[in-house]
Amino acid sequence: MSKESSTWRSERLGNKEVKVVRWGESGVPVLIFPTAAGDCEECERFLMVKTLGPLLSAGKVKLYSVDSVGGQAMLDNELPRHEAARTQNRFDAFLYHEVLPAIRVDCRDNDVEVIAAGSSIGAFNALAAVCRHPDVFRAAICMSGTYDLKKFMGDEVTLDFYYSSPLHFLPNLGEGAHLDALRKRFVLLTHGRGNWESPEESWRVAHVLGSKGIPNRVDEWGQEWHHDWPTWRNMLPKYLEEVLAQPATH
């Protein structure tokens, strides 16, 4: 199984150096977001890449990951909260205008649709990716998600935060092309009931999605499944197989 990495400085992120890694050579592109403070190789260190080995070797998926710039900003208590929100919003622009085009070039397909995946705050980013950009993301697999980042913002809720947070902007999203596109997408919300899990966050997201007619499902695992990598290594292969069986729309 091949592995390639690229590093560049993005003006959208204040000329910050960001690294993107790809595993595999062919298949549907899957962009996996790290947990809050993670980097693009976190999923490899915690054996997720090894777990997905059969899908990668069979050429069913190509796995991509990128440093968690937005999550790192949210956890940086020395960074003013409005700057943390601005960084999260700029991270989204970086993904859409730089990472997604790079993935499409790598896949030699200008119309290829991407599956987003992640756990914890990575699940927030996967959800946000689909909700903000249904033109390029076909589905989100969100595991043990932390979806309301207001807990990191205190009382300072800015427009940058509002537009970066599906829980906040989706309820006010009116009828139109964006919502029509979202209604052709799918969001899988899954969580355990073990240590450090917050099932109510998944159900809150499901309620917002459902109220807008956006296809979604919540899968609840038992108390033996904790907010940790062994849980996510069991979840992701199962749900990737399910999403892969669904036809792309382009």
Query: How does pLDDT run across 53-109, given as a tens digit for each residue?
Result: 999 999 999 999 999 888 888 888 889 989 989 999 999 999 999 999 999 999 999
pLDDT at 26: 95
Q: With CA atoms as reference, report the closest residue to 130 among 193, 58, 74, 178.
A: 178
Between residues 80 and 37, the one the model is more confident about: 80
Laid out side by side, the sheet with 16-23 consists of: 3-10, 16-23, 61-66, 28-33, 114-119, 137-143, 186-191, 216-220
Residue 156 has pLDDT above 90, yes or no: no
More confident residue, 201 or 157: 201
Name the band, by pLDDT with cuts 50, 70 and 90, for residue 1: confident
Mean model confidence pLDDT for the chain = 94
Contact 18, 66 (CB under 8 A): yes
Would the pLDDT of 165 be above 60? Answer: yes
Amino acid, res. 225: W
Alpha-helical runs (H) found in 140-198: 159-164, 166-169, 177-182
Confidence (pLDDT) at 37: 80
Q: Residue 208 gets which letter from DSSP? A: H
Taking alpha carbons only, the member of 185, 140, 153 closest to residue 33 is: 140
- Report the pLDDT value the prediction gives residue 151, as an integer from 0 to 100: 83
Q: Supply the pLDDT for residue 243.
A: 97
pLDDT score of 36: 84
The pTM score is 0.95
Q: Specify the CATH superfamily of domain 3-244.
A: Alpha/Beta hydrolase fold, catalytic domain (3.40.50.1820)
pLDDT recorded at residue 155: 73
* Average confidence (pLDDT) over 107-133: 97
Q: Is the pLDDT of residue 250 over 60?
A: no
- As a whole-number percent, the residues of the chain with pLDDT over 70 amount to 99
Residue with more model confidence, 140 or 149: 140
What average pLDDT does the segment 129-154 reach?
94
pLDDT for 249 equals: 63
**Pick from 224, 214, 77: nearest CA to 137:** 214
Token pair 């108390």 is found at 223
Residue 105: its pLDDT value, please?
A: 96
